[in-house]
Amino acid sequence: MLSAAQLATLAQLGEERAADVGDLLFRVGDQQYPFIAIIEGEVAILDGAGHEIIRHRTSGFLGEMNLLTGQTVFLTAVVTQRLRYIAVDRDVLRSLLFEDGPLSDLLLSTFIARREALQGVQGIGLEIVGPRSSAGTMRMVEFARSNRLPFSWHDTERSDDEAAAALLAGLDVAALPLVRLPGGVELHGPSTGQVSRALGIGRELAAREEVDLVVVGAGPAGLAAAVYGASEGLETLVVESSALGGQAGTSRRIENYLGFPAGISGSELTSRAVTQARKFRARTATPYRALSLEPVDGRYVVRLEEDHEIAARSVLLATGAQYRRLPVDQLSDYEGMSVFYAAGPPEAQLCGAARVGVVGGGNSAGQAAVWLARGGALVTLLHRRANLREIAALHGADGQLESVTLKSGKRLPFSFLFLFLGASPCTDWLGDAVARDDKGFILTGAAAGADTMLETSLPGVFAAGDVRSGSTKRCATAVGEGAMAVQFVHGRLAEHSRPQPAPIS
């Protein structure tokens, strides 16, 4: 609920309007809508099929994450009791959020909670129709998941949904999946970039851009660099191949990030970081995958998918790593709640004396097993040599694991599962451009023969976060390194622009 003082602030910036019962304030498929604060009356929110989801009343407000990101409207708002309301233009609201801390906290956390709730409701947002055996379909499903878009997937291979199967009849595999946007527009076999832009999420880059600093990867390291770079006067562009937020954005709860004693969800932490980066006018471009890096005429050129290229005076590589995951359904429902990729004190405390499975054969799996057992947990170590794909299914509810089933049919009553299947750095795209260690992580500092700590073997190209050889795989470290890299960028740019001594004749 908005306080009387907050309504007064909004009234100064917006426009007071009235609407009658039955009036539509916005509808599914609209390109955008203003922020709406209710002075008096009632509004019902409906999905595309007209089912009611919730009602908002006096002092309530309408909207969810798409108000800030600019995505196409997923829902319809219809007046159910005569309404007096304040409409605030989206850009005005964004500026206000940068200035008014308490209002920003209230709106951001509500918008994020609403988005999470919408993700659990069928029939809202994107409709993806395609079989799981089609790579294009799986890419689209992953894209929707990682961008936290509400979506429904009709897997024509697993369901007997005849209507969905009929939609695909006669279609070539290249035309899969069929994607229906809010509002009804249908796309056949679209790229994630096309869907992203059709939804109004990703910004369109010019074929060639020139900036001071290009940051590749928008996880915590890249976003921290964006905040510090842009706020310190560097023209900063962040390119991201998938979803802003990186691995951290997928974490259900980050318990050890400084300043959040009760923990914070990964999506909230990274949504806040994105808002902060934009406040300082850092530009974020998604989904654009970096394909190569090379020095050209005293600058670096990062080439992206779809024939885009960015020329920059300095580059930060923050492409992170991908933890190997178990190929089982519903894994993401448990991640961060009862399935983890690290075992520290918070996890040991959380597990207490519960039954825990630790999967993996490396040092980290062994250490985790000892650590958790010391905390009182009853640990079963599932050795790597025993085929990992033995785990066939996870069972539980609301993110809390209750048991796992092995392919043999045996059921093990685990309340928590720890996965140590290794992580591979996202560096293949770099080829030989920068020196890497034997696992592919980027060497920096003395190990790369560089002058400064985070600099790679290419002067003016830095690396931060999980992608860096020897880094601690934690959010806080990634953020710290991203921030620190910007200091080195300043140093490098200052050196570069210093007048060179005249040649001796």
Ligand X SMILES: Cc1cc2nc3c(=O)[nH]c(=O)nc-3n(C[C@H](O)[C@H](O)[C@H](O)COP(=O)(O)OP(=O)(O)OC[C@H]3O[C@@H](n4cnc5c(N)ncnc54)[C@H](O)[C@@H]3O)c2cc1C
Strands 208-216 and 308-317: parallel
Q: Which is nearer to ligand X, 71 or 338 (CB)?
A: 338
Rule CB under 6 A: say whether 130 interacts with ligand X: no
Strands 378-382 and 355-359: parallel
E strand residue ranges, 51-104: 52-57, 61-62, 76-88
* Binds ligand X by CB under 6 A, chosen from 58, 104, 256, 457: 256
How far from chain centre, in Å, is Cα 260?
Answer: 19
CB of 250 to ligand X, least distance (A): 5
Q: Where in 391-430 is the site for ligand X (CB under 6 A)?
A: 426, 429
Query: Residue 231: which of 487, 467, 488, 493 has the closest Cα?
Result: 487
Residues contacting ligand X: total by CB under 6 A: 39
Strand partners, 43: 56, 79
Rule CB under 6 A: say whether 131 interacts with ligand X: no
User: Which residues have a Cβ under 8 Å from the Cβ of 502 and sit 6 or more positions away?
Assistant: none
CB of 258 to ligand X, least distance (A): 10
Query: What span, in angstroms and rounded, lies between the C-alpha atoms of 312 and 315?
Result: 7
334 three-class SS: helix
* Binds ligand X by CB under 6 A, chosen from 189, 336, 360, 375: 336
Rule CB under 6 A: say whether 348 interacts with ligand X: no
CB of 413 to ligand X, least distance (A): 23
Stretch of 61-69, 210-218, 377-385, 483-491 contacting ligand X, by CB under 6 A: 210-218
Element (H, E) at 220: helix 220-231
Rule CB under 6 A: say whether 202 interacts with ligand X: no
CB of 299 to ligand X, least distance (A): 19
* Binds ligand X by CB under 6 A, chosen from 56, 289, 313, 492: 289
Q: Which is nearer to ligand X, 187 or 476 (CB)?
A: 476
CB of 95 to ligand X, least distance (A): 27
User: Which residues have a Cβ under 8 Å from the Cβ of 97 and sit 6 or more positions away?
Assistant: 68, 103, 104, 107, 108, 275
Binding mask 427-466 for ligand X (x = CB under 6 A): --x-----------------------------------xx
Rule CB under 6 A: say whether 333 interacts with ligand X: no
Q: Which is nearer to ligand X, 79 or 312 (CB)?
A: 312
* 384 backbone φψ class: left, alpha, beta (φ>0; ψ -120 to 50): alpha
User: Which residues have a Cβ under 8 Å from the Cβ of 119 and sit 6 or more positions away?
Assistant: 148, 149, 150
CB of 115 to ligand X, least distance (A): 18
Rule CB under 6 A: say whether 89 interacts with ligand X: no
Q: Which is nearer to ligand X, 126 or 426 (CB)?
A: 426
CB of 249 to ligand X, least distance (A): 7
Record the tokens describing residue 239, joined without a space.
């390119």
* Binds ligand X by CB under 6 A, chosen from 83, 199, 475, 484: 475
Three-state DSSP string of 335-384: ECCCEECCCCHHHHHHHCCCEEEEECCCHHHHHHHHHHHHCCCEEEEECC
At 461, the amino acid letter reads: V
Binding mask 216-255 for ligand X (x = CB under 6 A): xxxxxxx----------------xxxx---xxx-xx--xx
Rule CB under 6 A: say whether 338 interacts with ligand X: no
Footprint of ligand X (CB under 6 A): 216-222, 239-242, 246-248, 250-251, 254-256, 289-290, 318-321, 323, 335-336, 341, 426, 429, 465-467, 473-476, 478
